[in-house]
Amino acid sequence: NIAIQEARNLFHLDHPNVVRLLAVTVEDVPNPSVVLLFELADCDLKRFIKSKLPLRTVRRFIKQIVLGLEYLH
């Protein structure tokens, strides 16, 4: 199953700017599905997007996002 293969790939990721995958379970009832359990992040970006942030903070967030994406690719 491609979902399980992708989950295995996620399981090995280790970077401070990428949320870690902690567990994977496969459920068959009522429909087959793969459940991914990720670490709990301190907060999410949605809260910050709605507020006006100083440019310095925006730059720091962007840098963290870019570093995480660079690691993933």
Q: Would you write out the chain's pLDDT as a tens digit for each of its 73 residues?
A: 788 888 888 989 999 999 999 998 888 878 888 888 999 988 877 877 778 889 999 899 999 999 999 999 8
Task: Note the pLDDT of residue 39.
Answer: 93
Task: Note the pLDDT of residue 45.
Answer: 78
Task: Note the pLDDT of residue 46.
Answer: 80
The one-letter code for the residue type at 6 is E
Residue 67 β-bridge partners? none
Cβ 48 vs Cβ 61: under 8 Å: yes
| C-alpha closest to that of 36 among 49, 51, 19 | 19
The one-letter code for the residue type at 55 is L
Give DSSP secondary structure letters for 47-73.
Answer: HHHTS---HHHHHHHHHHHHHHHHHH-
